[in-house]
Structure 1
């Protein structure tokens, strides 16, 4: 009896796999030719005007207003820190990284950048002169007619 059930189950699986295999599209064929070269889209250029961008929402990580091409960002080296740490901002003129970057998860202050905030590009991205990939219908609250508390 058990062997009969097993045989029926195997037959059902085999027939289902045969039916599904009929719907697999061809991987190659006459059109388009998979070996033909296709021109690549141009790479978007980084905005390098060093103008700080307006943030779209509160607590948004600021975008990087300059190119970071060639910057080394590894466990041993972080080129961003050569301009943006507290000690280097006077000479570089760059804005200092947020004080929150010197805190642990438990809000304890550290003498140096917290390891969880060391890899800048996990939150901050360079601004590129590129069209939006998808449409955006975001409307800021100030444009919706919202007024501040106590302004009535």
Structure 2
């Protein structure tokens, strides 16, 4: 290409870039929730689930159980896991909390341990707590049907 054509394309790109920045700065950025983007999202009150059997319904097979209480102040790190103060098999009975599945006490080779396995120590890598907040996007998800309903 000739130099004047390249210079014209470069000038056009600069003008378009500057104009685009001006337009972008005029538009207000909106958060997906009600709080402004530059502020912390305020969550609603913690979800309190009161159903039959005291457990939340799962939406698909093998879904890890949901946590029906707040864990915002729980410490879960390499030294401490506060979930285990209620849910470890040694404490669950007296605390009235569900016990961990026996799979949480198996090592990678399938050997039974007397303490929680290191691969299952960080509860929040699989389990999530619920909060009563609006959905970020519309969701058309339908839970899977039970196996014996066919």
Tell me which structure has the larger Cα radius of gyration. 1
Residue 9 of structure 1 is matched in structure 2 by: none
Task: Name the one with the larger helix percent.
Answer: 2
Relative contact order, higher structure (CA 8 A, sep 6+): 2
Task: Please give the TM-score of this superposition, normalised by the length of structure 1.
Answer: 0.68
Q: Is the 8 A contact 2:56 2:68 kept in 1?
A: yes
Q: Is the 8 A contact 1:83 1:89 kept in 2?
A: yes
Report the number of matched residues.
131
Residue 120 of structure 1 is matched in structure 2 by: 123
Task: Please give the TM-score of this superposition, normalised by the length of structure 2.
Answer: 0.69
Task: Find runs of 4+ consecutive structure 1 residues off by over 3 angstroms.
Answer: 15-18, 20-24, 26-29, 38-42, 48-51, 140-143
Unmatched tracts of structure 1, length 5 or more: 1-11, 33-37, 148-152
Alignment of 1:69-148 (within 5 A): 69-142=72-145, 147=150
Compared CA separation, residues 138 and 83, structure 1 to 2 (3 A):
same
Unmatched tracts of structure 2, length 5 or more: 1-5, 29-35
Q: In 2, distance between residues paired with 1:55 and 1:124?
A: 12
Compared CA separation, residues 25 and 88, structure 1 to 2 (3 A):
same
1:62 and 2:58 are equivalent in the alignment: no
Residue 16 of structure 2 is matched in structure 1 by: 22
Compared CA separation, residues 41 and 66, structure 1 to 2 (3 A):
closer
Comparing 107-116 with 84-93, greater Cα deviation is found at 107-116
The CA RMSD over aligned residues, in Å, is 3.5
1:46 and 2:46 are equivalent in the alignment: yes
Q: In 2, distance between residues paired with 1:17 and 1:82?
A: 66
Compared CA separation, residues 63 and 16, structure 1 to 2 (3 A):
farther
Q: In 2, distance between residues paired with 1:141 and 1:125?
A: 19
In the TM superposition, what is the alpha-carbon distance from 1:105 to its structure 2 partner?
Answer: 2.4
Q: In 2, distance between residues paired with 1:17 and 1:118?
A: 58
